[in-house]
Amino acid sequence: MKKIVYTITASVLLIACGGEQNQSVEELVSSGNLENIRAKKNEISEQLKVLELQASQLDSVISILDSSEKFPLVTTITAQSQNFVHFLELQGAVKTKQNVLIYPEMPGTLQRVYVTEGQHVTKGQILASIDDGGIGSQLEQSKTQSELAKTTFERQKRLWDQKIGSEIQYLQAKTNYKASENVVKQIQSQLGKSIIRAPFSGIIDDVIKDQGTVVSPGSGSEVFRIINLGNMYIQVDVPEIYLGQITKGKEAIVYFPVLGDSVVTKIRETGNFIKPGNRSFTAEIPVPNKGGIIKPNLTAKVKLNDYSNEDAILIPQSIISENAAGDQYIYVGSEPNGENEAVVTRSIITTGKTQNGLVEVLSGITDGDFIIKEGARSVKDGQKVKILN
């Protein structure tokens, strides 16, 4: 111990004496001699290295001689494996495949509207009727003619079965009957277009045309908007680098900022085409809407499970440091003694995914390691510390 102290003392005195004999920094700067200035800088750099080494030696001596030295206070967390589920965060808007505008199939006056906005309707329910322009009368006339043709055909058939009359008479009666039936069906189909029905069960979101308005097929003549809020979904664009991670059946969490609520669901389908514009593919996520509060075009934040590890070691991101070489490291404490004192060691780590302030550590620590948490930024490699917890 005495040899260490004498060596350090001698080195300090030697540097101090050398510094007195050399030219001062102020004089060198004033002289403007570049070679002398560079030489002085190199000399001071070497002296600093020696002083740092000596300071470290003094710290070691102090720690041995001073039994009352106060060690840095730290807290630790114990590394342990746990299930880690990582999510890719995207944004999207709610859509529904049953959100349509209903147009008339024939021109005419909107004779009557049977529903109001917000009304629930079932598939096939009559929503409105259009003035048929006399098609109903034509139908009745055609039915009468069809009945006559039917009667004529039946009588002619009975005669033909008895070998009475000619075959041509029988065939003409049969043809007239079939033709009259077709006419009735055509008129019925045309008359059916005067009735506007619900294409599916849902809610009448908007009654666009009022009763008495003249309507016709084509753009600009929509009469109703009907929406079904039971089949809602969100479609998001996923970057192509996640093509192998974002797949059908993976967990999805949908959060609605406006509602302050979220739902847990699964990816229903992923696209098979990469969009060249933004190098992405689509993912479709169904959204349960039991209360009917979720509406089309509602903004949502979507989290898609892209990575899982059942045996991951997670540590707070705040305790990770980085050296000049770009290596990430943390401090690990040894097994504490009876007085909760331990020696810290710097450990270079490799990290993976990050989620909610926690980082997955792929290498550098193992289960059971005592990782320095509070005080991690103020300790040094090989330093002795006192663990509070």
The mean per-residue pLDDT over the stretch 362-382 comes to 90
Look at the domain 132-193 and name its fold: Helix Hairpins (1.10.287)
* Spatial CA neighbour of 284 closest among 262, 260, 300, 307: 300
Alpha-carbon separation of residue 77 from 81, 332, 373, 374, 384 (angstroms): 13, 10, 6, 9, 17
Which pLDDT does position 30 carry in this prediction?
78
Q: What pLDDT shows up at residue 31?
A: 77
* pLDDT at 134 (0 to 100): 82
Q: 135-190 pLDDT, tens per residue?
A: 878 888 888 888 998 998 888 888 888 888 788 888 888 899 899 899 989 888 88
What pLDDT shows up at residue 69?
A: 58
* CATH architecture of the domain covering 73-84+310-387: Beta Barrel (2.40)
End-to-end CA distance of the chain, in Å?
35
Contact between residue 197 and residue 126 where contact means Cβ atoms under 8 Å apart: yes
pLDDT (0 to 100) of residue 62:
67
Least confident of 4-8, 78-82, 106-110, 199-203: 4-8
Tokens of 381: 């490699």
**pLDDT tens-digit readout, 104-137:** 988 988 889 999 998 999 999 999 999 887 887 8
Mean pLDDT, residues 242-253 taken together: 93
To the nearest whole percent, how much of the chain has pLDDT over 70? 92
CB 298, CB 93: distance < 8 Å = yes
Distance between CA atoms of residues 166 and 64, nearest Å: 134
Higher pLDDT, 7 or 55: 55
pLDDT at 9: 44
| CATH for the 87-98+227-307 domain, from 2.60.40.1180, 2.40.30.170, 3.40.1260.10, 3.30.830.10 | 2.40.30.170
The pLDDT of residue 365 is 92
